[in-house]
Chains A and B, each alone.
Chain A
Amino acid sequence: MSLKIAIIGCGKIADAHVEEIRKIPSASLVAVCDLEPIMAEQLATRFAVPLWYNDFARMLDEQKPDVVHITTPPDSHLALVRQALAAGCHVFLEKPVAPRAAEVRAILDASSSANRQLTVNYWPNFEVHAIALRQLIASGELGEIVHLESYYGYDLAGEYGMALRRDPNHWVHRLPGKLFQNVLDHMLNKIVPYLADDDPILDAVAYCGAPLAERLQTNPLLDELRIVLQGANSSAYATFSAHARPIGHRLRVYGTRNTATADFQLRTVTMDRKQTFPSALGRLAPPFLLAKDSLRQGIRNMNHFAHARFHYFHGMHHLLAEFYTGIETNAPPPIPYGEILRVATWMDRIFQQVYPEVPA
């Protein structure tokens, strides 16, 4: 029996949800909903979705979906999650989960109390290379983790960046962490599984990296962020940059035995090689071994491409498949709630330091 899926929120990320839902044979998208009826209509028309609504309660009542995807701005999430859970639905939630950790906790508690499953669209962590890195770490190949570096580059001139720069009323500007909050999930959720401390030492600094002329002309956002985390057994840096080029998205994991880098743009995992021969001779081999690693990854990616497994949101496909299967088999959700909450708690602390004027 196929799961009945519905979407609330018909903005730009909803396109990706529709496309990925439709690739899952055990799921059927029955309706979409938006407070703006014309937005709901446009999504339904472009993707031939059978029904559209501008009343969430009515959609839940008439369609009785098994799963609701919530792709609205984060300040609406708590109320919508509660409404969906009350209607007996499982919830797939777009990040950021909520503006503050207290609301994230309320969302997770509500899901547990209702005995319904919930997960968050941490899709890059479900890419094939990200799964390979997790397996590498679990196998002990890297040894004990000493340090992690999570890097996220952002294009303010891109589709998403322009949307919020053009519109002073964009929901991103209402978030306590503004631009950073819309992407920090993707930086911190890679660190959280390996820095298990609930309350690590955390220092964050932010500044505007735009040229002086631009800063004088407009009232630009803070767009460069550096975070240092120190737990009991390991540490991490997280870097957000809107100005460094090329735009990157990486996780580097330093272990007691080896160091590995997952590149989320290129979809590769490479290992740093140590010198096995002494002196100048020893420095000759490692670049070739690194090149061999890259070649192997490139061939693997070509193989994925040849088998049509190299879509931009392929990680979302994996995540959705795992989430839907978990609902059908009553398995735990793909992302532990403790990790989701820890990301939110760290974000609260970062924004207190970066935007001290925003009330907690």
Chain B
Amino acid sequence: MKVLVTGAGGFLGVHVVERLLAHGYCDLRCFLRDPSREDALRRIQEKSAAKIEFVYGNLRSRNDCARAVQDVSLVVHLAAGLKGSPAELFADSVISSRNLLEALEARSAPPIQDTRVVLVSSFGVYGVVPLGRRARVNEETPLEAHPELRDPYSFTKLRQEQLIREHSQRAGFELVVLRPGVIYGPGGGAMSNRVGLQIGPIFAHLGGTNRLPLSYVQNCAEAIVVAGTHPHAAGQVYNVHDDDLPTASSYLHQYKKQVRRIRSVRIPYWLALQMASMLESYHRWSKGQLPAVLTRYKVAAAWAGNVFDNSKLHGLGWRPLVSTPDGLAETFRSLRGSDAKR
């Protein structure tokens, strides 16, 4: 079975390729936008007898998508917009996904009904605001009803998921959706927004005692491969995060201790709501002179302390490959080399 991995050169993509090989999938096509990102994949290829094909292109190009999907039966769709303007994010995630699916549906073989698409979505698609503080979020939790009130990334991921679901229902391919929390590990970012926001020289620590839904990059990749290839996973959605999760404040404390000192200010939830309310009023009055980076809706979506549930993923037989203490230690060791030099 030929497997296509989009976004294969990315932070998560390299680990997904590694886990696919570990699970015995040896005919892989890695789709990359940036040829300079292939080095890590080449090293993996050298260590295995697997057939890894590299295809370079941009999923915004229909021709590139047509080249990518030839003969593949499993598509692990990781590529998504992470940075840039809202329109760029949207085009990189939604237009790209539309092009990829239309290319899949247009090719002659294998039949579309024998094809499976594994989408890596996000916790950002859940409509958590009406649930209130500390609410439990599982795969049955309704999706966001007001994406326009959320950050551009969540807005985009929600539309991407909806679009792929519509295509799946219309064209008949199997769809498995994974919704990871905060993917972390060596080579990734240090601070998720769920811990707080860097505002000038000060880190505004907003996460407090909320459990951080961390997913170590190898564990996340393992979840994608386990669920993405499991016969009973067709049509299912899975939350992805690790076990034994730290709180945001404990994460920040360990970061300061093990990586570098940063100046932080703890902002409790009630105060964050007050500040957001003031910023919203100012934003409205000044007609956008300062961006509404914080709104009451965004605060409630990010820092209300939702507890995510990964029991459905465990039910498939997934187990973390790396424990949270080991994952954090490895990540902080790597960050010491990069962040500490700042």
Contacts and interface: CB of A to CB of B under 8 A. Distances in A.
Contact of A169 (B61, B85, B87, B286): B61
Contacts of B84: 12, 159, 162-163
B60 interface: yes
B286 A308 contact: yes
Interface in B4-39: 33-36
Contacts of B33: 166
Given A166-B33, A218-B36, A308-B285, A46 B95 contact: no
Interface residues of B, number: 28
A311 interface: yes
A99 B169 CA distance: 43
B94 interface: yes
B289 interface: yes
B207 interface: no
A310 B147 CA distance: 29
B155 A46 contact: yes
A46 B58 CA distance: 25
Contacts of B148: 45-46, 48
A305 B286 CA distance: 9
Contacts of B163: 38
A15 B287 contact: no
Interface in B40-90: 58, 60-61, 83-88, 90
A38 B160 CA distance: 10
Contacts of B88: 12, 159, 163
Nearest to B81: A166
Contact of A15 (B58, B85, B94, B285): B85
Contacts of A19: 287-288
A311 B94 CA distance: 30
B87 A10 contact: yes
A161 to B, nearest CB: 10
A162 B86 contact: no
A42 B58 contact: no
A14 B87 contact: yes
Given A14-B87, A168-B58, A42 B159 contact: yes
A135 to B, nearest CB: 25
Contact of B94 (A38, A163, A305): A38
A3 to B, nearest CB: 18
Interface string B284-307: 011111000000000000000000
Given A38-B95, A42-B94, A48-B148, A11 B287 contact: no
Is the contact region of chain B dominated by helix, strand, or loop, or is it mixed? helix
Interface in A135-163: 159, 162-163
B60 A43 contact: no
Interface residues of A, number: 29
A167 B87 contact: no
Contacts of A45: 147-148
A42 B87 contact: yes
Contact of B86 (A15, A22, A167): A15
A14 B85 CA distance: 11
Nearest to A168: B58
Interface in A63-118: none
Interface in A290-312: 305, 308, 310-311
A167 B60 contact: yes
A329 interface: no
Given A38-B94, A48-B148, A12 B58 contact: no
B98 interface: yes
A217 B95 contact: no
A166 B34 contact: yes
B91 interface: yes
A38 B58 CA distance: 18
Contacts of A23: 287
A39 interface: yes
Given A38-B95, A308-B285, A43 B34 contact: no
Interface in A6-39: 10-12, 14-15, 19, 22-23, 36, 38-39
A308 B36 CA distance: 44
Given A46-B148, A218-B36, A39 B289 contact: no
A167 B288 contact: no
A46 B86 contact: yes
A12 B86 contact: yes
Contact of A159 (B60, B85, B90): B85
Contacts of B90: 38-39, 42
Interface of A: 10-12, 14-15, 19, 22-23, 36, 38-39, 42-43, 45-46, 48, 159, 162-163, 166-169, 217-218, 305, 308, 310-311
Given A15-B87, A162-B84, 19 more contacts: A11-B87, A12-B88, A15-B86, A36-B91, A38-B90, A39-B95, A42-B90, A42-B155, A45-B148, A46-B148, A48-B148, A159-B83, A159-B84, A163-B84, A163-B85, A166-B33, A166-B34, A308-B289, A311-B289
Interface of B: 33-36, 58, 60-61, 83-88, 90-91, 94-95, 98, 147-148, 155, 159, 163, 285-289
24 contacts: A10-B87, A12-B87, A14-B87, A22-B287, A23-B287, A36-B95, A38-B90, A38-B94, A39-B95, A43-B87, A159-B84, A159-B85, A162-B83, A163-B88, A167-B58, A168-B58, A169-B58, A169-B60, A169-B61, A217-B36, A218-B35, A218-B36, A310-B289, A311-B286
7 A-B pairs with the lowest CB-CB distances in the bound complex, closest first: A308-B286, A12-B85, A12-B87, A42-B90, A308-B289, A11-B87, A46-B148
